[in-house]
Amino acid sequence: MKIGVISGDGIGPEVVREAKKVLDASASKNGYSIDYTEILMGGCSIDRYGVPLTDEAINAAKASDAVLMGSIGGNTSTSPWYKLPPDKRPEAGLLGIRKALNLFANLRPSVLYDELKSACPLSEKTAQKGFDLIIVRELTGGLYFGTRYTEEKDGVTTAVDTLTYSEEEIRRCAVKAFEIASKRRKKVTSVDKANVLDSSRLWRKVTEEVARDYPDVKLSHMLVDNAAMQLVKDPSQFDVVFTENMFGDILSDEAAEITGSIGMLSSASLNETKFGLYEPSGGSAPDIAGQNIANPIATILSAAMMLRFSFDRDREASDIENAVKMVLKEGYRTTDIMSEGMKRVNTDEMGTLIAERL
């Protein structure tokens, strides 16, 4: 396996180190080999090259079978990176690599483990029901990639961001959502704002067209404001949530936090081939970087997703997921998911425990 590695900024290098530890344990157990290629992106790339993403980094990613990423960016109020123009900041590198690699579908599972129900911020009644959903977010279109500008006219400053979607951008991502749903509980909830936005009305129309090719999957529609409410009211009602770029950005962080910690949530960004970029849903958490207390489980589970989606190694992926459950069942916790009576461990200790359980 040729795996590109973007360790990134903040806690990124710490959590990626533990994911590699678990991948290496899996490779040793199952008789395959891994060739890692380190790739700079984000703030560390700005520090070295003056830009968040170089052509060399893009080419190295393209030469890989898949890319494992930590997190990028820093503290927006104190980091010198955020004094730069928007196209030179760390997040511009993330948008750039998604576009360059045509990563149009982002998958973010949100699962409440039985062992972490006490950490769920929702009511006890809701938490006891549990939930297992996945958000499929369109990743290379919409408001984040539309034409934008700020201008001053007659003494008044105006900022413009353009939300644009073509039917093909919607269709290819909808197909991913329905394919995933057909292997799960066969339910897609398409989230939009069709009562206001033309782009959402097209979104709904194309999604209904794709649904006809999957008669065994039930499609329903939900407005985004209601979806945000329903996620905290009763997340167990959802199976696959399919939505556009900005809505997905917001809802997936909400879905992550209701699991008890965003440090538990993996993600995958896929193109039309087996290639994908795999990363934790959380940010770079610069306030705890270097302290060896970050939760590496989200990155480890992202590595498991990589084995499943890019390398068709479902059994090995399940082994890693089961090792995570085993460690949690044994009572080991990092600081973010710690509760009374549990055993607190550091970042590297958690990675070692999971690797050993393999």
Assign residue 247 the CATH number of its domain: 3.40.718.10
Distance, in Å, from the CA atom of 108 to the CA atom of 266, rounded to the nearest integer, reads 6
Domain boundary among 258, 273, 298: 258
Query: Choosing from 249, 319, 332, 336, which is the catalytic residue?
Result: 249
Whether 44 is covered by a domain: the verdict is yes
**Is residue 345 included in any domain, yes or no?**
yes
Enumerate helices (H) and strands (E) in the chain, giving the number of each: 12, 14
294 part of a folded domain: yes
- For 347, phi then psi, to 5°, come to -55, -50
Query: Which DSSP string do the residues of 6-34 spell out, in sequence order?
Result: EEESTTHHHHHHHHHHHHHHHHHHHT---
99-138 as b/e, with b when 16 or more CB fall inside 10 Å?
Answer: ebbbbbbbbbbbbbbebbbebbebeeebbeeebebbbbbb
Distance, CA of 105 to CA of 310 (rounded, Å): 14
Q: Which two tokens stand for residue 287?
A: 């306030």
* pLDDT at res. 208: 98
Both 241 and 144 in a single domain? yes
Q: Nearest to residue 327, comparing CAs of 300, 303, 354? A: 354
Is the CA virtual torsion 312, 316, 320, 321 positive or negative?
positive
Angle subtended at Cα 192 by Cα 248 and Cα 225, rounded to the nearest 5 degrees: 80
Q: Is residue 296 part of a domain?
A: yes
47 is catalytic: no
Do both 171 and 253 map to the same domain? yes
Q: At what angle do helices 12-30 and 314-329 cross, to 10 degrees?
A: 120
C-alpha angle 52-54-58 in degrees, rounded to nearest 5: 110
Domain annotation covers residue 303: yes
Total domains present in the chain: 2
**Is 114 labeled as catalytic in the residue annotation?**
no
| Catalytic status, residue 216 | no
The answer to whether the beta carbons of residues 171 and 203 sit under 8 Å apart is no
Q: Which DSSP string do the residues of 161-220 spell out, in sequence order?
A: E-----HHHHHHHHHHHHHHHHTTTSEEEEEE-TTT-HHHHHHHHHHHHHHTT-TTSEEE
| Residue 243 and residue 165 share a domain | yes
**Residue 126 within any structural domain of the chain:** yes
pLDDT of res. 148: 93
Residues 128 and 252 in one domain: yes
Q: Indicate whether 232 and 318 sit together in one domain.
A: no
Catalytic residue, from 21, 113, 193, 319: name it.
193
- Does 110 map to a domain? no
Please tell me whether residues 59 and 170 are part of one structural domain. no
Residues 125 and 168 in one domain: yes
Catalytic residue among 24, 132, 234, 253: 253
Residue 253 among the catalytic residues: yes
Q: Are 28 and 133 part of one and the same domain? A: no
The single residue listed with the structure tokens 């209601």 is 226
Active site residue 87: no
Map 146-169 to HEC letters: CCEEEEEECCEEEEEECCCCCHHH
3-state SS, residue 249: helix
Indicate whether 113 belongs to any domain.
Answer: no
Whether residue 253 is found in the same domain as residue 289: no
The one-character DSSP state at 278 is: E
In this structure, the answer to whether residues 203 and 179 fall within a common structural domain is: yes
User: Can you give the pLDDT at residue 119?
Assistant: 81
222 shares its domain with 329? no
Tell me the average confidence (pLDDT) per consecutive run of 10 residues in the chain, 358 residues long.
Answer: 97 98 98 97 96 97 97 88 92 91 94 87 92 95 94 96 97 96 96 98 98 98 98 97 97 88 88 93 90 96 95 95 96 91 97 97
Q: Which of 198, 231, 258 is the last residue of a domain?
A: 258
Question: Which pLDDT does position 250 carry in this prediction?
Answer: 95
Active-site position among 161, 198, 213, 225: 225
Do residues 268 and 253 both lie within one domain? no
Q: Which candidate in 144, 186, 218, 234 is catalytic?
A: 144
Q: Last residue of a domain, which of 226, 258, 290? A: 258
Q: What range defines the domain where residue 71 resides?
A: 1-105+264-358
**113/134 Cα distance (integer angstroms):** 14
